Amino acid sequence: DVKVTQSSRYLVKRTGEKVFLECVQDMDHENMFWYRQDPGLGLRLIYFSYDVKMKEKGDIPEGYSVSREKKERFSLILESASTNQTSMYLCASSLNGGETQYFGPGTRLLVL
Amino acid sequence: SQQGEEDPQALSIQEGENATMNCSYKTSINNLQWYRQNSGRGLVHLILIRSNEREKHSGRLRVTLDTSKKSSSLLITASRAADTASYFCATARNTGGFKTIFGAGTRLFVKA
């Protein structure tokens, strides 16, 4: 079974702090994704990566950056956290583009 | 832009009844996926149906796809309290690179 893990289930940060969210998958998947989920808005894609050191902006990349130094790890970085970044963050991976995505358990981030 | 839109937004049924959720989308697709999310958790993949398929089954789940109407339905037969969750459709299309877009979801509540 594919396993996608995220570094934290819950996180509380202060405005202006730099925040790192880590995601690791164990199935050698090429593609990895970061989404945020807000009530009534569904999942919105922040960034994705289709290979090591490659990244593509999603629909809402502003205020975020990503890093993929190793195939199994995809990090989401909030350079200077703001209260409007309070959300549920979901990481996913897939073997091929457009195919089944496997999700981590999510990180609920609260920015005060 | 939201590609897949689920209907209804919320559904409440008795245990043992069937639950039907619908998804409509706007453009041509390569495949359509259904996912389930328990409260506060990550999404779990249920079924993927390709654009040249009309129906797929998995256990108590039945998915149909009508590409002429640009719509899909997810039927859960003989529902159980444990089926209580949010259900999302996601459409994948190749636009010079695959893009998968999730809808806002249907919240299903199954009363015991």
The pLDDT score that the predictor gives to residue A40 is 81
- Burial call B74-108: b when 16+ CB within 10 Å, e when fewer: bebeebeeebbbbbbbbbbbeeeebbbbbbbbbbb
Mapping DSSP onto H, E and C, the string for A27-86 reads CCCCEEEEEEEECCCEEEEEEEECCCCCCEECCCCCCEEEEEEECCEEEEEECCCCHHHC
The answer to whether the CB atoms of A40 and B98 lie below 8 A apart is no
pLDDT tier for residue A82 given thresholds of 50, 70 and 90: very high
Please give, rounded to a whole number of angstroms, the shortest distance from the CA of B94 to a CA of chain A: 8
B99 part of contact set with chain A, CB < 8 Å: yes
Q: Is B8 on the interface with A (CB under 8 A)?
A: no
- Round to whole Å and give the CA distance between B34 and B88: 6
pLDDT tens, residue order, chain B (112 aa): 456 788 899 999 999 999 999 999 999 999 999 999 998 889 999 999 999 999 999 999 999 999 999 999 999 999 999 999 999 999 998 877 788 999 989 999 999 9
State whether residue B30 sits within 8 Å of chain A by CB. Answer: yes
Mean pLDDT: which of A2-6, A72-76, B92-96 is highest?
A72-76
Please name the amino acid found at residue A41: L
* Residue A24 contacts B where some CB pair is shorter than 8 Å: no
For A42, the closest of B40, B42, B105 (CB atoms) is B105
